[in-house]
Structure 1
């Protein structure tokens, strides 16, 4: 996530570095993402701490360690689901029927 275009860092608690270190240690400094075969992702570098649910809940139970690939995949999936839940844009013009089909 590019922090330059986001205010997410400002939403984190002042002791975020301690929380992050605790979660990384709890997860054994390894991604908790799953591979296609169901095994745990072996990545141990470039790790990020992800909010499982509510992004304002910074409790250990709501945090997990993910590699950047699994974090991006999770974010992409959540973004797509949110867009699908959104009602269609009411400002959009209705589709016009083809003049030869009238």
Structure 2
């Protein structure tokens, strides 16, 4: 599994029979569960932070919907856990005295 998995630790948390689970979900959901138009290409965890590998915790989605959902989830995760910033005290302009 490469490509979109680069930099992700999620692949390590998948069960050993993930390929079979994925195939079963894509067979069950041939059309994207989000848009209802395009064919499913990804087996998506419905809740981002939950590693629920049961049939009720997974859905088949198309590429564009998967990308949008993953982006939203990633942006939300960054908002929930911002990196510590460097706060500098405000300084007076050197010409103002």
Contact 2:39 2:61 in 1 (8 A): no
Q: Which ranges in structure 1 are unaligned for 5 or more consecutive residues?
A: 35-39
Q: Which ranges in structure 2 are unaligned for 5 or more consecutive residues?
A: none
TM-score by length of 1: 0.71
SS of the residue aligned with 1:65?
strand
Change (3 A) 1:15 1:5: same
How many residues are aligned here?
A: 93
Could you tell me which of 52, 66, 83 is aligned with 1:57? 52
Paired with 2:58 and 2:91, the residues of 1 have a C-alpha distance of 50
Shift of 1:9: 2.7
TM-score by length of 2: 0.74
SS of the residue aligned with 1:82?
helix
1:21-65 Cα offsets, whole Å, 9 max, x none, are 2211221x111122xxxxx2x2126x0001111442101111011
Poorly superposed stretches of 4+, deviation over 6 Å:
none
